[in-house]
Structure 1
């Protein structure tokens, strides 16, 4: 009995894989981050997506933390910053931090990654340079500028992470959380009971809490820049 003819596909007819590179690894990891969050950005999963072994990745990145830093910087490539101007320096600072906040919220997984890694690359440097320049316009320099910038970015990252988490929880889960505070025992927790409305106040859309928090941090930075060097170093 004759066997039916079967088409044999030559390996040479397959589309050639894009050569492995640092840029390709970072882009692939970023796509996995958007799809599965930081849990999907393991070295094993990145290697699988690239049809290679994890050991091949270590030629281009030292470890997962190193990769995370580059992926975060890649994500910051979408950040739009206005040109520095002679206008109100504080307003320029807040606009830049708000743009950073919005980007972290809009891009899945980026807010989570921002709390786990320090970005490495030109996009992060561009943001840092902009913030330092604006702070300098406000008379904040040296240690206060460096530490202050770090604190402001950390604050914005944490707010972005919280809002991104709320989006995942959904309105129903947030209603349960809010209800638990509304019905707290006033005898055991009198202060929480007395502030149960204020704890959940602040318009999320116009970012009342976010801007209030930045004002608080910035006022502290402005105060610290006038302290003696011996106090700043302690």
Structure 2
């Protein structure tokens, strides 16, 4: 006698959440946190949603556009300081500090920030904030727009470097530092003489991070009076 088999109707299964732009972005973001940018292929996102890759193209044009939306989704967790009448530089430093911490704390986000330009209200909110702060400092138009781009790129690169260090461990970084300290003083005299300075900068107080922002900001302030014609004439 054959054992009785329980037949489960397809109608009894949990209903699959309808495909949408929002669910695609959220799913891709979860894959980003688990596997990094390599986990965000259209094929892997489609598999996680139990659908075919072609279905995703109804909602996003391509992987690059998906990356932009995913990055914006991640920026939704960014808490910016309140804009006040106080020191504009201090507000800029605090905003960029919040941004770099978010990129470092959320797996994969720092890497993605170097590959995509975010699209959406969260990215626009960050851009609007930085432009407003720069405008408070008397920096406007082209200098503000280009300067903001430099500042964001700098923060992304710092966050990516720190994320890579955390991934590989302190031993890897110690080995690199040892290689620099052991350089031949005859062949590489400057590296040898500045072997300590090359790796200096208090990580806890973010001394080196803030120094980089200050250097970029000084350049933006200096260039604020230039117009595009004068810049082009130097090329």
TM range (shorter): over 0.9
Deviation at 1:206, TM superposition (A): 1.0
Structure 2 equivalent of residue 79 of structure 1: 78
TM-aligned CA distance change 1:61 to 1:28, over 3 Å: same
Structure 1 equivalent of residue 166 of structure 2: 167
Structure 1 equivalent of residue 9 of structure 2: 10
TM-aligned CA distance change 1:32 to 1:136, over 3 Å: same
Q: Tell me, what secondary structure is at the counterpart of 2:195? A: coil
> Which string of whole-angstrom CA distances, capped at 9 and with x for unpartnered residues, describes residues 173-201 of structure 1?
11111110111111111110000000000
**Equivalent pairs, count:** 233
Q: Tell me, what secondary structure is at the counterpart of 1:86? A: coil
Give distance in 1, aligned partners of 2:91 and 2:232.
Answer: 29
> Which string of whole-angstrom CA distances, capped at 9 and with x for unpartnered residues, describes residues 64-111 of structure 1?
000000000000000001221000000000100010000000000000
Q: Tell me, what secondary structure is at the counterpart of 1:159? A: helix
Give distance in 2, aligned partners of 1:184 and 1:174.
Answer: 16
Runs of 4+ in 1 over 3 A off after TM superposition: none
Give distance in 1, aligned partners of 2:140 and 2:231.
Answer: 13
TM-score, normalising length from structure 2?
Answer: 0.98
Structure 2 equivalent of residue 177 of structure 1: 176
Asked if the contact 1:115–1:157 (Cα under 8 Å) also holds between the matched residues in 2, the reply is yes
For the aligned residues, what is the CA RMSD? 0.8
Give distance in 1, aligned partners of 2:79 and 2:100.
Answer: 12
Q: Tell me, what secondary structure is at the counterpart of 1:220? A: helix
Structure 1: stretches of 5+ with no match in the other structure: none
Give distance in 2, aligned partners of 1:229 and 1:27.
Answer: 41
Structure 1 equivalent of residue 93 of structure 2: 94
